[in-house]
A and B are shown apart, each in its own frame.
Chain A
């Protein structure tokens, strides 16, 4: 429970809130207070219930039992317009702007005051915060960061007293993050309360005044940030009896032969979002690629995979030129890719596990010539279900009903079914629970032991530290640093990912 009882009325008070969807209990008794001028960092893994809780606060869902109080008075949040009227605004993780309207229309829609009054107020507000946005631009032409700014402006113009920021920095560059933090501090000074949802522990110590950790529908720890260390926070995230997977470095007896021909080589490779990439991945090696979102990593690999146009340079797979080839040819040549967004690009939700696993291998003769070879399909699916310990009720279970971790295992299985020489994993542990994450790490090690190369893209620096034999960082579309095993640590990676040259970081 909160310790600041009585002195000030909390902006938002959540009492004993429960919420179930059908027979699935998502929130099991949440108690949370947010004071004016407080920045509450809300952390939790996928499925912890953060999104649901915020949607209840925003009036999108209604809770089953418990109370919501705004400034001490109980409120029934039946729909978003009620929340808006009470001064709550949520900036969603993916900005939900109207792509065909311009910036001003996007910000001012839904207001009943006169347009000219609002226009002036908007200009004043923008000047006060120091942001310069062209109000006549169409929303579809804005970058993600700019879209987020528009969303925040919406919240400010509504005179919100409580602002919810859902993973606001996931798509921002270093400078944009800094200016966001300045903005947040400015809002704090005005007495606005902020709930800041994030996956990044470092941000908690940078910007938050209080922190609360959610796991499995309950709050495990909460309180002022000053009272916690990083380890405390991590402990709050993990389930109590999780097996401490050995965090030791990869065993010293895995020696990568750097004299042989690299499995994947990029020569001056350029495309949309990245340029002049020179990269080599060797057999049996795990190459980590770090960087912030927007650095161009995903763009680089999807271009290799045939999803976008190559603007220059070459990509060679075991010496064979695969530049500009179509996806199917690239797969047949021996490269496969696990997409970053498995919901959008990876899963066939209403198809069963077997169909999902074999979808990339359909062109192979082993799957049949005209007719689909069901036995082969069964064999392949079973092989991966067993070796990955994927929890399914059967091969005919629909992929959409699996948990995040199991879904990811299916997609990884599919990428391996084409027997690639190199697999590119793009944020493989995003949105999956700790146990599944451990399983994925084992799979990665297993692959490496079999001689398959792995290109691992991850925004989780710890992950790269744990898994990679070598690491590179990308910043604004270019590779700006390379680290050998002994040099890989979080500080180096973080600094390079944010564009701080290695020398500077060392000199500090």
Chain B
């Protein structure tokens, strides 16, 4: 399929910004409370996990894989912090470090099976989601606290991560998110590593022939997404004040939708951090705005997000269809270079 230059990415990000703007417009006019800075900024907490994790799942999907175990790693991280601190006496920050390490190991394990054993990403991370959810549950049994209660009573220094407000109004988590955003952006779009991620995703064989260790690159993306899940877990635990083993449930579809909506091709090779961030924000704002302004129950939110996903991918598929492009070209009368699908 012949594509034109890099313009489509830029256009897509523009579309996402317009989408965000439209959301603000619609929700803002439906209910002015929506636009109140304090409320808005606080609402971010609900979907910050989606934003953070989707940044790094982008890396995974660019290599052509998928990661549906991130949600369970969030819970595993949370409960690890809780149990390590409360029942094993580690300092809170030691527990945090341990949790990140555990998450990285989980990511590395799955990444190893995917990259070095050639198992499909979907299945491995599917098994991983079972495994890590189960592990989280088992870890919670190690604690004296009942699983459904969750571990609480964390020290202030820990809770401060999410309580501190920059300039008195911006929750610190947003700062963390911005830092991660910049980090992910630089890593993917400016470093040699990021270039390798793209190359491996576009054509793994050609990457190998270019001397790139494609398997290591692929495995590393899963470690990245696992660590991002850990960070999200840390933030959630700090914000809620409790460590629970099922903290991340239900996030998976939102994350995948955010990445796909952000312009990442599920077949790999294409994606950009800005798009993912904008898409994640759009989804998050949608999740906040709908209940607030239209009294939509949060449980119903899966529908518009599911519909959004379908519309985006079908639309993209149509846009890439040579027949459709030719029709548009004829309509516009402009001469575009086209080529047969299989010369």
Report A's interface with B, CB cutoff 8 A. 21-24, 26, 46-47, 51-52, 55, 305, 307, 326-328, 330-332, 337, 339, 344-352, 355, 359-360, 362-363, 367-368, 370-372, 393-394, 396-398, 400-401, 414
Chain A, residue nearest B330 (CB)? A23
Give 5 new A-B contacts, CB below 8 A, not counting A22-B329, A359-B212. Answer: A21-B339, A22-B336, A24-B338, A328-B211, A350-B202
Min CB gap A417→B, angstroms: 10
Report B's interface with A, CB cutoff 8 A. 1-6, 186, 190-196, 198-199, 202-203, 205-213, 269-270, 322, 325-326, 329, 335-343
Could you say which residues of chain B place their CB within 8 Å of the CB of A337? 209
Could you say which residues of chain B place their CB within 8 Å of the CB of A371? 186, 190-192
Could you say which residues of chain A place their CB within 8 Å of the CB of B191? 370-372
Complex contact A327–B208 (CB within 8 A):
yes
Q: In this complex, which of A348, A363, A396 has the most chain B Cβ atoms within 10 angstroms of its Cβ?
A: A348
With contact pairs A21-B338, A367-B192 given, residues A401 and B208 touching in the complex (Cβ less than 8 Å): no
With contact pairs A350-B202, A359-B210, A414-B210 given, residues A396 and B338 touching in the complex (Cβ less than 8 Å): no
With contact pairs A348-B199, A350-B3 given, residues A23 and B337 touching in the complex (Cβ less than 8 Å): yes
Could you say which residues of chain B place their CB within 8 Å of the CB of A26? 340, 343
Q: Please, how many angstroms separate the alpha-carbon atoms of A46 and B209 in the complex?
A: 25
Q: In this complex, which of A24, A339, A359, A414 has the most chain B Cβ atoms within 10 angstroms of its Cβ?
A: A359
The total number of A-B Cβ pairs within 8 Å is 131
Query: Contact check: which of B195, B340, B343 meets A362 at CB < 8 Å?
Result: B195
Complex contact B6–A396 (CB within 8 A):
yes
Complex contact A345–B6 (CB within 8 A):
no
Q: Please, how many angstroms separate the alpha-carbon atoms of A396 and B3 in the complex?
A: 12
Q: In this complex, which of A24, A55, A337 has the most chain B Cβ atoms within 10 angstroms of its Cβ?
A: A24
List 24 A-B pairs, Cβ < 8 Å: A21-B341, A22-B325, A22-B338, A23-B335, A24-B337, A46-B343, A51-B343, A305-B209, A326-B213, A328-B213, A330-B211, A339-B206, A344-B206, A345-B206, A346-B206, A359-B206, A359-B212, A362-B192, A367-B192, A370-B191, A371-B190, A371-B191, A394-B5, A400-B1
Q: Please, how many angstroms separate the alpha-carbon atoms of A22 and B2 in the complex?
A: 11
Chain B, residue nearest A328 (CB)? B211
Query: Contact check: which of A328, A331, A347 meets B206 at CB < 8 Å?
Result: A347
With contact pairs A21-B338, A346-B209, A371-B191 given, residues A351 and B269 touching in the complex (Cβ less than 8 Å): yes
Q: Please, how many angstroms separate the alpha-carbon atoms of A327 and B207 in the complex?
A: 10
Query: Contact check: which of B198, B208, B322, B342 meets A55 at CB < 8 Å?
Result: B342
Query: Contact check: which of B194, B269, B325, B337 meets A401 at CB < 8 Å?
Result: B337
Q: Please, how many angstroms separate the alpha-carbon atoms of A397 and B337 in the complex?
A: 13
Complex contact A362–B212 (CB within 8 A):
yes
With contact pairs A26-B340, A351-B198 given, residues A401 and B210 touching in the complex (Cβ less than 8 Å): no
Complex contact B5–A355 (CB within 8 A):
no
Min CB gap A347→B, angstroms: 6
Min CB gap A74→B, angstroms: 25
Min CB gap A218→B, angstroms: 16
Chain B, residue nearest A46 (CB)? B343
